[in-house]
Chains A and B, each alone.
Chain A
Amino acid sequence: MATYKLKTPISEEDVRKLKVNDVIYITGTMFTARDSAHKRALDYYKQDKKMPINPQGLAVFHCGPIVKKENTKWTIVAAGPTTSTRMDLFEDEFIKNYKVRVVIGKGGMGKKTTDAMKKYGAVYGAFTGGAAILAARAVKNVKSVEWFDLGMPEALWILEVEDFGPLAVAIDSHGNNLFEDIRKKVEENRPKIYEKLGI
């Protein structure tokens, strides 16, 4: 278990050093993307259209923030992670096509994503769900917003962050998945619980 401070763009080599249970902090650029933005990004790739930013080496944050506009300037009010499993539908392709190195969210992700992280070199960083103000504090600047037609929660918010974390590495690029390990333990407990309840 080690702590790493990473600066974007993050290289594959840097990401391969990380192991589950490590803690990381990110400084640099990250962008939010949820269901709709992932879907559109994959459509763009198929159509050979460029995304508004180049995600290579960046962190993608599963988050639909509350953002406030004062005069012409956007500021992040609250920005905790959303449930990542919804993005399991898209994330393997997204990692493959766009080479993001860190996926940030809550609740963990499934096998397809874990396999893609192993193959292409990426990790999953778990941030405390609901801890929206802690997250917002690490955002120093909203660089821009793209795809705003998707609505505030689904838009692509491009953020400048400083020491964004702590993120618990819960899936590494070696096929380890912390959430999966917990799930296995829970499965072992299930029959004991049934027995106690007389089921």
Chain B
Amino acid sequence: MTNQNIVENVAVKLLQLAVTELPQDVKEALQNAYRQEESKAGKTQLKAILNNIELAEKTRTPMCQDTGVIIFYLKAGAQVKGLNKIEEALRNATKRATKEVPLRPNAVNPFTQKNTGDNTGRFIPFIHWEIVPGNDIEITVFPKGGGCENVCALGMLRPGEGVKGLKKFVVDTIIKAGAKPCPPNIIGVAVGGGADIAMKLAKETLLRPLNQSNPDPKLAKLEKELHEAANSTGIGPMGLGGKFTVLGVHVEYAERHPASYPAAVAVQCWAARRASARIHPDGTVEYLTHKRPK
């Protein structure tokens, strides 16, 4: 089989895995929230969430009807042959998964409001490319719902406001979002770079497993501080009150322009769907986020 075929088949599998089964770290965080939530309304919501993900896994059905706009993150080995065919393979995989899983057709033309019907179109699915040494291809799919996407925020803060300004922006964004992004959420925060870089990093940091702490101790401390702050708001599961507004906060940064302090907050709903696999040159596939793909 050529690389293109393998990539297409793996990508279909990853889309199916992502929308039907949450990674272990997310499941554990939700179970933990259910055990510890004190608000009755909040606990009821978490119980429904847990029941729903169990059913999704059992019946191989998408846990949420909003299967997102399809985004791929690729780490392609510089020695891999046929890199020019991968985009086509991922587009085909998206079309196939839309029918086979099925996924909801979520690609709409912003001028005519017409739905393309197959989750592909101009720039969609979007592919983030990274060329890395070696000859493996690592594919991550990240189907993110629209409700939580709608509350993502970019603040071009003033450098004089610094980290205090950043903290306030994060808290204000979470409070403003309230019940809308299906809490408990995961919050991706990135500062620096520029408007586009900050948002790209904020979103990408949502892919880090919840049980992995930030390797930078200063950032790990900031994450903890923001996590506690978010869970002191009282928004709670589905915004019906409680202490679990977020499951985690992840912080990333890039150096900034002396005159700019771009701060991006990417919000992820509780259905934090992601799936990754690595394709080796001999065609064998290693699934990284899900144990035994069925």
Contact = CB atoms under 8 A, between A and B. Distances in A.
A11 B52 CA distance: 31
A36 interface: yes
Contact of B236 (A129, A182, A192, A199): A182
B225 A197 contact: yes
A189 B243 CA distance: 12
A127 B117 CA distance: 27
A64 interface: yes
Counting contact residues on chain B (CB < 8 A from A), the size range is 35 or more
B182 interface: yes
Contact of A130 (B63, B102, B234): B63
Contacts of A79: 65
A199 B171 CA distance: 11
Contacts of B236: 182
Given A66-B102, A80-B66, A126-B240, A131 B52 contact: yes
A134 B66 contact: no
B63 A132 contact: yes
B104 A186 contact: no
B232 A196 contact: yes
A65 B71 CA distance: 21
A187 B52 CA distance: 31
A128 interface: yes
Secondary structure dominating the interface of A: mixed
Nearest to A197: B167
A129 B56 CA distance: 14
B59 interface: yes
Interface in B55-107: 55-56, 59, 61-67, 102-106
Chain B CB count within 10 A is highest, among A78, A85, A106, A166, for: A78
B179 A130 contact: no
Nearest to A185: B234
B128 to A, nearest CB: 25
Interface in B32-47: 41, 44-45
A80 B55 CA distance: 14
B147 A82 contact: yes
B76 to A, nearest CB: 31
B270 interface: yes
B211 interface: no
A154 B105 CA distance: 11
17 contacts: A66-B67, A77-B61, A78-B63, A80-B64, A85-B180, A107-B239, A128-B48, A128-B49, A133-B61, A134-B51, A136-B61, A153-B105, A153-B115, A179-B178, A193-B171, A197-B164, A199-B167
